[in-house]
Amino acid sequence: MTATTDGSTGAPPPRAAAASETDTDTPAAAGAHEAAVRATLRATDFLLSRQDPEGWWKGDLETNVTMDAEDLLLRQFLGIRDERTTRAAALFIRGEQREDGTWATFHGGPGELSTTIEAYVALRLAGDAPDAPHMAKAAAWIRARGGIAAARVFTRIWLALFGWWKWEDLPELPPELIWLPSWMPLNIYDFGCWARQTIVPLSIVSAKRPVRPAPFPLDELHTDPARPVPPRPPAPAASWDGAFQRLDKGLHVLRRAVPKRLRRAAMNTAARWIVERQENDGCWGGIQPPAVYSIIALHLLGYDLRHPVMREGLASLDRFAVWREDGARMIEACQSPVWDTCLATIALADAGLPADHPRLVKAVDWMLGEEVVRRGDWAVRRPELPPGGWAFEFHNDNYPDIDDTAEVVLALRRVRHPEPARVERAIGRGVRWTLGMQSRNGAWGAFDVDNTSPFPNRLPFCDFGEVIDPPSADVTAHVVEMLAVEGLAHDPRTRRGIEWLLAEQEPDGSWFGRWGVNYIYGTGSVVPALVAAGLPAAHPAIRRAVTWLESVQNDDGGWGEDLRSYRHAAQWRGRGASTASQTAWALMALLAAGERDSRAVERGVAWLVATQREDGSWDEPYFTGTGFPWDFSINYHLYRQVFPLTALGRYLHGEPFHGKRPGKPLAVAKGS
């Protein structure tokens, strides 16, 4: 075993050997087809059984224990922590601890310092003694890696709320930021929407610097309790990092000089901005972190916990809780019903479910009701653009996203709805909005236009994950595919997107995946889009992608990629244990490229068939979704169902929208 540079042990899995024609575990072509039909029927049945009566699907969205730890810390800060919630959260957090005493941010990943600190503090709140073996092991590991002083800023903010860290030893975040005009560098709209929603409330918290009495000390998490803040060498004066360090020092000095009336006015403006963006369900942006910080900020400004804004905000956080059969309680960072529903609709339609099947019609009815028809923050950069898109969550009218909108349109196009004019109007609005959100370089980001400023990532405050939203290959590919299906493949705007994608291809033939792991996701998104837009399967870019996918196929016939490819692409690109979702992405690319009868496709389909469980589902403990590359990873529990079904359906019936499908239609699954 060798040590990787991120501190974990273990080497990447060996490169897959070329498939031998003498493999005995691959069924003959006819048998493989029948096995795929049976697997598709079982998977169809399973997915239909998971549909809500209202028409939507939603799988659990699993991240890491910082969500659970911070939920307990919030409740401690507000004075509302109760025994039942604490016990259930602690049960989940303990269950996620690794043998070395740490907590990771993804299944099979290395221990992560800030995550381990927050989990440790949460268990202390739950009553776990610091000298208990599991706690002592965690504390020793934390100290060995620099202690609290080496943790990310967000972790130290949580500790500062209880006096476990000094506010003056944190980067300054002035609330006056809210007043910077949108043309000025470092205004709030230079940040990605998720960062923007977090920074605005945290600017209030930073200005207020609250401290609640700590229920216990945390000396055991410092390398030297007598000097918890070791000196750090300054960045080179001529570098950007050095410039932003000096800016932060200046803001610390300025803090003492800002007139109280001015600061109070800035905080009130920030509070109005927060309240205006609260969703109908009480949450903010449909994601947990901004909701947590918004509740703290408003509470510090005098909002009572019984105030409607606070009451509904706290109630929304309870809806992020997933209670398990063993009594453990997991907190979702977000919920994904629109995304899950459009992907499930695509999977079922491509698997052969009739286009007018009542379940698909019900799903379309629900998706039509979720269309966002009001302006959100995106309109700051596109004030003349009419609204018309879809968000990721149940309630998120401020932040529809381009990826969901593209996939929803692709899902709507697969269903024969009894009100076609209504569907056409929604599709028209979605296409118009998506085209209007194209960035200058011809590509698309997830939420905003040209959200590419280099400055936000330089701030000392922003040391965790992505804080901007530049265009990505996977989102751009989904848009290009959608525009091609809408008959716009030759539109100049679509062609610019195609040109950008071709320029972004890696030398080995793959594409980087921003919102899924990683090069397999990017490649699995781009190849079907390019083919749908008219590139022939013989195009050099398509052939390079096929060659790369074949080269990284695992010996077992599946595909997998570890999240470490975001940090160490040379060792981990396209490499990892086989998973159902990543195998499906690779198959979707190969099938689009005309490789249906290839050995690689045959082996990949065989792997999906062989690993399917009796109930028609697949198991997938590995994290194949991405919030922030490397820093925040996601296990979408429905990915393991929708993508394999989509791949199997396309294997049996051919590519959707590419003329008449070959082969016999799939019979309707039983119980549907």
Helix locations, 161-237, DSSP H: 193-208
Percent of the chain topping pLDDT 70: 93
Q: What pLDDT score was predicted for residue 466?
A: 87
Pick from 18-27, 100-109, 197-206, 398-407: least confident? 18-27
pLDDT digits (tens, 9 = 90+) for 348-377: 999 999 999 999 999 999 999 999 999 999
Ordered DSSP codes for 348-385: HHHTT--TT-HHHHHHHHHHHHT-B-S--GGGGT-TTP
Confidence bin at 225 (pLDDT 50/70/90) = confident
The four Cα atoms 559, 565, 566, 568 give a dihedral, to 10 degrees, of -170
The four Cα atoms 127, 131, 133, 137 give a dihedral, to 10 degrees, of 100
Ordered DSSP codes for 431-481: HHHHHHT--TTS---SSSSSB--SSGGGSTT--SS--SB---HHHHHHHHH
Which domains, and CATH codes, for the chain?
A: 29-59+336-437+472-653 (1.50.10.20), 62-227+235-331 (1.50.10.20)
HEC letters along 232-273:
CCCCCCCCHHHHHHHHHHHHHHHHCCCCHHHHHHHHHHHHHH
Q: What pLDDT score was predicted for residue 9?
A: 41
403 is catalytic: yes
Annotated catalytic residue: which of 68, 190, 401, 403? 403
Mean pLDDT of the chain, nearest integer: 91
Distance from chain centroid for Cα 577: 20
* C-beta of residue 342 within 8 angstroms of C-beta of residue 401: no
Say if residue 23's pLDDT is above 60. Answer: no
Q: What pLDDT score was predicted for residue 662?
A: 31
Question: Which is nearest to 576 in space by CA: 511, 620, 538?
Answer: 620
Q: What pLDDT score was predicted for residue 17?
A: 37
In this structure, the number of other CB atoms found within 10 A of the CB of residue 591 comes to 24
